A and B are shown apart, each in its own frame.
Chain A
């Protein structure tokens, strides 16, 4: 068997063969950008519909700009070679047919520049770089560097208090996927830590950053955000956590004070996906250490990944 690198290459070359540049240049139809993100080169009906909308806008523009000859309501005829359609205005005003000419050949519809907007970098590459530095600091455990970059009071309850618990106590790793938007850097982050991570449960959220005066501001966050288990632990993951809880009760009763969930130990609710209840990084570290011990002795893990 060849080495891993060669195997990866062989596999991807097989499943992902190259395109012919000539074929790419032949793809000339309009793009369905903002609605689905998919091009419509292979969807002639939708392409025609979009072209029709384009004609509609051209017609509307002619009307709004007081085109050369505004239609006379009394004028009876419409040129037979022209396409007839009603503008949106005609829905609220006395019906007036508006005419426009559809020409699909002389000038292909201009692809909407939506991506130019999406990738407009008003916040600048420096914002993305700052976000990367922030996550690198978190992932390497350099809490001071991370805090130095964050300005003011970040959104979210007790975020400042929980950062040390996550970073130092639970060894949280923030996998992130950031894109520069017009005014913010949007990051989908997935946090894996030493507590829920071994059960295959990760914590995902979307965080929006702005970068001003060399400081990052968290302007919004959705999903569960930091330190809240957003996954629904089901099946193997839940059983695994329950096993952990039972095992910890037998082997580390001193930790019981930290497990403040107040439910019977064999209840599914005993391990809820709620914010970590640990009061200090040290407590989180203690729990985390016990989890590592549990993982090491468990026969179910990691051979049977949830």
Chain B
């Protein structure tokens, strides 16, 4: 985004843009991990749009990212219920740019609970602290730790990953 484009924005637009850039990864990836690509992305997009429509209020919240995530989570739950969707992740070889990862990773992730997947993806994949993850998901840090430990244990076991600990 050029300087002139930024200058042309209103204060609200600028602050919202900064907010989206800062939080959208965790909101998107968290919901995608929990509900799959289609529903997760739809819900994340709609929650972020909802935040823009209510920006005067969301802007002043103590934990706007957590609020937006929970709005998205609620939307995703409704979508999943309505569509009776089963969770599935795409084959890494069938995405637009095939990537080299352990072929069994998506299936192993699918076998985790939704919470475990969210926590594993956010903490391990995207480096959120357990405290940040707890704030986002609206659960305690202890719960995050438990979901993380169980999720990683299952994941490593299924992928045959050997660890030192």
Contact = CB atoms under 8 A, between A and B. Distances in A.
Contacts of A173: 150
A11 B100 CA distance: 9
A119 B95 contact: no
B99 A24 contact: no
Contacts of A177: 114-115
Contacts of B25: 18
Given A136-B142, A175-B115, A177-B115, A14 B40 contact: no
A218 B42 CA distance: 33
B161 A19 contact: no
Interface string B111-130: 10111100011001110000
A15 B98 CA distance: 10
B140 A24 contact: no
A4 B124 contact: yes
B136 interface: no
Contact of B74 (A21, A139, A179): A179
Interface string B71-103: 101110111001000000110100111011110
A207 B28 CA distance: 28
Interface in A1-47: 1-2, 4-5, 7-12, 14-16, 18-19, 21-22, 24-25, 27, 31, 36-39, 41
Given A7-B105, A115-B71, A14 B95 contact: yes
Interface string A177-205: 11100000000001000000000000000
Nearest to A188: B77
Contact of A36 (B82, B101, B102): B82
B52 A15 contact: no
A126 to B, nearest CB: 12
Chain B interface residue count: which class? Answer: 35 or more
B67 interface: yes
A1 B140 contact: no
Contacts of B67: 119
A151 interface: no
A5 B71 contact: no
Nearest to B146: A139
A135 B45 CA distance: 31
Interface in B14-39: 16-17, 20-21, 24-25, 28-29, 32-33, 37
B82 A37 contact: yes
Chain A interface residue count: which class? Answer: 35 or more
A14 B98 CA distance: 9
Contact of A7 (B77, B101, B138): B101
A111 B50 contact: yes
B52 A9 contact: no
B28 A19 contact: yes
B36 to A, nearest CB: 10
17 contacts: A4-B155, A4-B159, A8-B124, A11-B125, A14-B96, A19-B44, A24-B20, A24-B48, A36-B78, A37-B75, A39-B49, A111-B54, A119-B71, A132-B140, A136-B143, A177-B114, A178-B139
Interface of B: 13, 16-17, 20-21, 24-25, 28-29, 32-33, 37, 40-42, 44-46, 48-50, 52-54, 67, 70-71, 73-75, 77-79, 82, 89-90, 92, 95-97, 99-102, 105-106, 109, 111, 113-116, 120-121, 124-126, 138-140, 142-143, 146, 150, 155-156, 159, 161
Given A9-B125, A15-B95, A177-B115, 7 more contacts: A12-B121, A16-B29, A24-B45, A25-B13, A25-B16, A178-B139, A305-B111
